[in-house]
Structure 1
Amino acid sequence: MWTTIERFIDAHSAIIGLLILAAMFVAFLRERYPVAVVSLFGACAFLVTGLLDSSGLAAAFSNSAPITVGAMLVLSGALVRTGAIEAIINVIVARAERHPRLTLVEVFAGMLVASPFLNNTPVVIIMIPIMIRLAEVTGIPAKRLLMPMSVLAVLGGCLSLIGTSTNLIVDGIARDAGLAPFGIFEITPYGFAGVIAGIVAMLLLVRLLPKDPIKGDGSSSQIPDFLSELAVRADSSLIGKTPTTLPLFKRNVKLLGLKRGSDVLRHGLDERHLRPGDRLVVRASAVELMTLRTGRDFDIGMAGSSAPPASAGDVVETMIAPSHPSIGQRLADIPFVHRLRVRVLGVSRHNHLAGPDLAGTRMRAADSLLVSGERREIDQLRDNPHLLGVGVTATRALRRKKAPIAVGALAATVTLAALNIMPIAMAAIIAIGVILATRCIDAEEAWGSIDGDVLILIIAMLAVGTGLEQAGSVQLMVSWLTPLLTSASPAMLVFLVYFITLLLSELLSNNAVAAIVTPVVIQLALDLGIDPRPLVIAVMIGASACFATPIGYQTNALVYRAGEYSFADFVRIGVPTNIIVGLAVCGAILFLN
């Protein structure tokens, strides 16, 4: 029985491989399971049927694509941890508040300038939080920015030979076949036609993208602000300075007033000079409060006379229970503040900023408190029945002094890869070693910044692609299409090569498609007596410029996850974008050759 089944699979392996692929796409569109899960099911189907062997599966795990994406996610996590991303966002947001539409154009233009020289995967990883924050400032839904960003990043990579690894693979195969080497900007005119077409396509189609907010975008509208106070220490280096000029107020900290003695000054703060004991009333995120508590110029928050310094002990978040006897009273009068050696770093209230100052805040049910203290005091807080959910905060202080190291590690990674000194995966792994050794980011944070869904999706689809090759499905598709190519006119041949390459790239690894198709079209051109170079250019761009599925390109997978898109969103926007860009690129190839 089993022998009969094996013989049947061996005799029809190519067709079975295509049937598995078709079933996967039906499952993708139905979305009963996440895309990563469906991809994994597909890889399992190839393994169970014997169409994918163990070496092919191992090759998927050793492929540089998931290694590169995972490593770049860790480097991006280091940029976040050190505040580098925040600094970039603050500069862009400050400009966007004055010129929102112009800033969007400038950001997209800057990304297009960078993409031909940098690997577009790190570009997109860095740009995702920036785009989400820009969406909040400009009022444009984030889902209408992330997918266009990925499209332009991919098309930007088609502007130069070093813009994508696929271009380099095609160039290497073409050299081996006897063609003259491609110049670094030889494909720029054709890629530029694709960029213009991509921009037009996005302007026409962007309204078809959903407007609903991203649940986990982490935008400031979803992160509660805390009311706090910063007491100027006697040995502070800021004594004598004007509070409005302090660098911390150029970040995510807002100055609300200056408390001097019993008076709270709200106006004319640019004419005041700080004195020892002055208390700055501020609004800040939990991240900023955690960062400020490690500084040397302020005592942050409010505490009893015997409380330890703000930088000592653990920090927990807790919520005031409706049963708390102190509801309606001032925060300064809550018993545990005086009974325990703890410090209240800040208070947060849903959709409202408490006040007028930290000590004078009248407590309400569900107010959140950020409290620091030693372990014994924290345990007593947990035993308090009127405090809910007492737990160590997951928020970490920014390590801004380490930002130059994190930025330098990323810059070195991209530079080494762009100059072909070493593969980007190898450079990124070395960079991870550097940022861990220099404590830019802790190990658990580094591994936590890796998105498992994205990696599983990439690895599983690499395995599926290998399974299709081993089953003979790819060769079967090429054999079906070859008669169509040989009978086409030279002009039609360019269109057919481009869109066949594009179709295969939506299903398989871009680099694998380039390696399969390039020698076929070169030999076909030689047999027909035509110049193979235009066809090779069509393969270069067609293998990268695929937008119809989240599995078509690495950056598609990244924004698919970050933007919480559906598979159908990619199909609805990507198919017409593929057609518009393809027609423009092929038209440019025919016009310029």
Structure 2
Amino acid sequence: MNTIFTSTLWVSPLFWTLSLLAIAVILFVRNKVRMDAVALLVMLAFYLSGILTTHEIFAGFSDPNIILIALLFIIGEGLVRTGVAYQVSEGILKLAGNSETKVLVLLMLAVAGLGAFMSSTGVVAIFIPVVLMICRQMNLSPKRLMMPLSVAGLISGMMTLIATAPNLVVNAELVKDTGVRLRFFDFTPIGIVILLLGIGYMLLTRRWLGGNITTDNQENSQRSMAELIDEYGLRGRAKRFVVRNGSPFIGKKLDELHLRANYGVNVLAIERWKRFRPTYMMPLATSEIHEKDILMIDIGQQEFNLTEFCQTHNLEPAEIKSQSFDEQAKSIGMAELALVPGSALIDKTTQEVAFRSRYGLNVVGIKRDGELISDSFSGTPYKLGDLILVIGDWKVIQQMRNRTKDFVVLTYPKEMDRVAPAQSQAPQALFSVLVMVLLMVSGIVPNVIAALIGCLMLGYFRCIDAKSAYDSIHWPSLILIIGMMPFATALQKTGGIQLAVEGMLQLVGDWGMYFVLMMLFIFCAVIGLFISNTATAILVAPIAISLAQQLQVSPIPFAMVVSIAASAAFMTPVSSPVNTMVVGPGGYKFSDFLKIGVPFTLIVMVVSVFLIPLLFPF
């Protein structure tokens, strides 16, 4: 069966491989068929043609780089679940002052700097959720920042010797053939120049990608917690109180204080400082009050004597900070509920239902016929059609979607995207990632083992669970990479690579050195359109060094050009896993990479061909 085509068709295996490559590229450019589906069809076509064996076609599933990418998706999810990704996005936004230009510059600097010492694939995988959060906070389309992210990730491979596999491949070939080796920071001057050019280029060309403002309908239909707070009049009713030494609240549980019954007030959140940072807890009946706790209390609409309340219970009023609700949104959230016909809550009050004890949430507002109930809503019976605003732990709020017998959840606020269910494990998550990075930089173990150790540490510290780990892996990206890998094997087996190399040697034989370097760069870039940059380096590095020896010049400039060209995989989404990973989150088409990548590749080529001989003379 696997020779059905080779036995009946007159075409040569090389012709068939090149035709299949052209068909795949056309399908990618047209974007009518999913890229991962095209990759699967490519695998099937290679089997039916008989060019590749079953083992060769499916070799990608056992490739360590594929496993590494999957593990790094899990690492990124662990940083999201512990709130680290959100903290990074907040830090970038704070420095950027809500300026898209500054965000882009800081993002590319951070990615390139970190990627100089660890896998660029890993850096991009970690920063994808960070960028998504920044886009949500700034109301930007991910198209505006995902491409700069991938460009910076690729440029990071030009920063140091260990930054990317092609650099190590070229260095190993150089040592084997000539005994000369590249130093750790030989790439750095070139990488810095290209990084600065890349930042300027992306600032100029980001508009080509479109998507200035997020247009997702679901995103636009969602309201923020701030909007819900204003809509239900909660902002004017919420007060903060510090529990001072000697307060009768200290050591008592909330249900022992009877604040709702005695004063008509409701504790919305408890802020408690731990390890020099505030943590926010959902107040439950069993929650015990500690000294220096900060209580956020809804005093309701009735007359309330703040001075007497504070003096009686030895409390100190605290200012409501503008970011108070935003800070709490990481662990405490809101939702708008509507009663369904036949609900057991109809004609019953919040107190009669014992809402907090029964559902683990606080009712903070009720709207009826579009009007806010301004009286003491805790004693107002619910009616069919009422809208109920609740506040509480995000996990409990998410569980309300399963209580369809009594409620339907109408609104989850935008802040739900910031939920960090394992926020307390943030230090352990950072430690796990640090261990992974150190192992990658030191080279004690392969990168894939370092990532595996990092994932196991995240699981051990409960930064991530099994379900969220499996859900975090972007399987279409992996299938796309695996499906395109057989092209490298097929081109080698059918003589396509050797034929191209021989043609290049004949073409550049009598030209000047700069032209030779330029042709070498173009040759690498063209091959890199269809196979991985590591495979490109493996195939071209021996040819480049041999060419330098034949021309009786130093092989170092030739080796450097191959390394830079292999990393300059900007032109297609399949040129590098870095590009492939941002296709889905950025909503890009094949043509987007051509539009941005081709001009920048030409810029990198000109800079490299001019700069490398200055730093490493012939």
Q: TM-score range by the shorter chain?
A: 0.7 to 0.9
Q: Is the 8 A contact 2:400 2:409 kept in 1?
A: no
One-letter amino acid of the structure 2 residue matched with residue 45 of structure 1: A
Alignment partner, residue 359 of structure 2: 342
Output the CA distance in 1 between the equivalents of 2:364 and 2:105. Answer: 38
The CA deviation at 1:194 is 2.3
Distance 2:136 2:144 in 1: 12
Name the stretch that deviates more: 74-83 or 3-12.
3-12
1:320 is matched with which residue: 338, 341, 360?
Answer: 338
Q: Which of 375, 382, 387 matches 2:404? A: 382
Q: Conserved in 2, the CA contact under 8 Å of 1:498 and 1:582? A: yes
Q: Post-superposition shift, 1:534?
A: 0.9
The answer on whether the counterparts of 2:401 and 2:409 sit within 8 Å (CA) in structure 1 is no
CA distance 1:58–1:326, shift in 2 (3 Å): closer
Question: Structure 2 residue aligned with 1:429, among 452, 459, 466?
Answer: 452
1:500 aligns with 2:528: no
Cα pair 1:14 1:472 within 8 Å, conserved:
yes
Asked if the contact 2:104–2:145 (Cα under 8 Å) also holds between the matched residues in 1, the reply is no
Amino acid at match of 1:383: K
Post-superposition Cα deviations, 1:193-239, rounded to whole Å, max 9, x if no partner, equal 32233233223322211216567899899575376989997537999
Does structure 2 conserve the Cα–Cα contact (< 8 Å) formed by 1:112 and 1:156?
yes
Structure 1 stretch 504-513 or stretch 105-114: which is displaced more? 105-114
**Number of residue pairs matched by the alignment:** 560
Measure the CA separation in 1 of the matches of 2:495 and 2:179. 28
Tell me: CA distance 1:446–1:139, structure 2 relative to 1, closer, same or farther (3 Å). Answer: closer
Q: 1:414 to 1:320 in 2, by over 3 A?
A: same
Counterpart Cα distance in 1 of 2:317 and 2:31: 58
- Of residues 4-13 and 282-291 in structure 1, the stretch that sits farther from structure 2 once superposed is 282-291
Note closer, same or farther for the CA distance 1:113–1:277 as it changes in structure 2 (3 Å cut).
closer
> What residue in structure 2 maps to residue 402 of structure 1?
425
Shift in alpha-carbon separation, 1:506–1:14, aligned structure 2, 3 A: same
Superposed, 1:140-219 pairs within 5 Å as: 141-211=141-211
Structure 1 Cα separation of the partners of residues 33 and 311 of structure 2: 60
Give the superposition deviation at 1:52.
Answer: 1.9
Match of 1:518 in 2: 541
The CA distance in 2 between the partners of 1:568 and 1:547, in whole Å, is: 12
The AA in structure 2 aligned to 1:29 is V
Q: Taking structure 1 as reference, are residues 194 and 343 closer, same or farther at Cα in structure 2, changes over 3 Å only?
A: closer
- What is the CA-CA distance between 1:466 and the residue it aligns to? 2.5
2:606 partner letter: L
> Which stretch shows the higher mean deviation, 71-80 or 353-362?
353-362
1:443 matched to 2:466: yes
Alignment partner, residue 309 of structure 1: none
User: Kindly tell me: are residues 251 and 570 of structure 1, through their superposed partners in 2, closer, same or farther at Cα, counting changes over 3 Å?
Assistant: farther
Distance 1:46 1:348 in 2: 63
CA distance in 2, matches of 1:213, 1:266: 46
- Check conservation: 1:143, 1:213, Cα contact below 8 A: no
Deviation at 1:589, TM superposition (A): 1.8
Query: Does residue 129 of the first structure (1) align with residue 151 of the second (2)?
Result: no
Pairs within 5 Å for 1:264-343: 291=331, 319-320=337-338, 333=350, 341-343=358-360
Q: How far did 1:110 drift?
A: 2.8
User: Per the alignment, do residues 440 and 354 of structure 1 end up closer, same or farther by CA in structure 2, a change over 3 Å counting?
Assistant: farther
Cα distance change on mapping 1:570 and 1:334 into 2, 3 Å: farther
**1:464 counterpart letter in structure 2:** F
Asked if the contact 2:301/2:375 (under 8 Å) is kept, the reply is no
Residue 16 (structure 1) shift: 0.8
**Contact kept in structure 2, 1:68 and 1:425, CA below 8 Å:** yes
Query: SS state of the match for residue 341, structure 1?
Result: helix
Q: Structure 2: how far apart are the matches of 1:278 and 1:262?
A: 18
Relative to structure 1, is the Cα distance of residues 523 and 288 closer, same or farther in structure 2, using a 3 angstrom cutoff? same
Does the 8 Å contact 2:76/2:127 carry over to 1? no
1:462 maps to amino acid: M
* 1:75 alignment partner AA: I
What TM-score do you get using the length of structure 2 for normalisation? 0.76
Report the Cα distance in structure 1 between the residues aligned to 2:326 and 2:353, rounded to whole angstroms: 21
Task: Tell me which residue corresponds to 1:478.
Answer: 501
Q: TM-score, normalised by structure 1?
A: 0.79
Please list, as runs of the form range in 1=range in 2, the aligned pairs for 1:346-361 lying within 5 A after superposition. none
CA distance in 2 between partners of 1:353 and 1:151 (Å): 51
Which secondary structure state, in structure 2, belongs to the residue aligned with residue 477 of structure 1?
helix
SS in 2 for 1:506: coil
Q: Secondary structure at the match of 1:320?
A: strand
Map of 1:43 onto structure 2: 43
Output the CA distance in 1 between the equivalents of 2:86 and 2:344. Answer: 37
Secondary structure (helix, strand or coil) at the match of 1:507 reads: coil
Contact 1:193 1:588 in 2 (8 A): no
CA 1:38–1:507 in 2, change beyond 3 Å: closer, same or farther?
Answer: same
- Whether 2:100 is the aligned partner of 1:82: answer no
Alignment partners' CA distance in 1, 2:199 and 2:90:
26
Q: Does 1:259 align with 2:276?
A: no
Contact 2:270-2:296 within 8 A present in 1 as well: no
1:53-64 pair list within 5 angstroms: 53-64=53-64
Q: CA deviation at 1:522?
A: 1.1
Structure 1 unaligned segments of length 5 or more: list them.
294-300, 302-316
Instruction: Give per-residue Cα distances to partners, 1:85-112, cap 9 Å, x unaligned.
Output: 2222233333444766445433432333
Q: Deviations over 1:112-162 (max 9, x none)?
A: 322211221222122223223333455654312210121122112201111
CA offset digits 1:496-524 (Å, max 9, x no partner): 11111011112101111111111011112
Partner of 2:360: helix, strand, or coil? strand
Tell me how far 1:264 sits from its aligned partner: 8.3
Amino acid across the alignment from 2:500: M
Contact between 2:271 and 2:279, CA under 8 Å: does it hold in 1?
A: no
- 208 and 195 in structure 1: CA distance in 2 versus 1, 3 angstrom threshold: same
Q: Is structure 2 residue 274 aligned with structure 1 residue 235?
A: no
Whole-angstrom CA distance in 2 between matches of 1:256 and 1:210: 45
| CA distance in structure 1 between the partners assigned to 2:450 and 2:101 by the alignment | 36
Relative to structure 2, which stretch is displaced further, 281-290 or 452-461?
281-290
> Structure 2: which 5+ residue stretches go unaligned?
244-248, 258-268, 283-293
Rounded to whole Å, the distance in 1 between the matches of 2:375 and 2:589 is: 45
User: How many percent of aligned residue pairs carry the same amino acid?
Assistant: 24
Aligned: 1:461 with 2:484: yes
Higher mean Cα deviation, 96-105 or 163-172? 96-105
Q: For residues 331 and 601 of structure 2, what CA distance do their matches in structure 1 show?
A: 46
Distance in 1 (CA, whole Å) between partners of 2:218 and 2:250 is 37
Tell me if the contact between 1:258 and 1:279 (Cα under 8 Å) persists in the aligned partners.
Answer: no
Q: Residue 558 of structure 2 corresponds to which residue in structure 1?
A: 535
Residues 484 and 279 of structure 1: is their aligned pair in 2 closer, same or farther, counting only changes over 3 Å?
A: same
The within-5 A match list for 1:558-569 is 558-569=581-592
Distance 1:142 1:348 in 2: 35
- For the 8 Å contact 1:128–1:146, the answer to whether it is kept is yes
Structure 2 distance, partners of 1:451, 1:143, is: 18
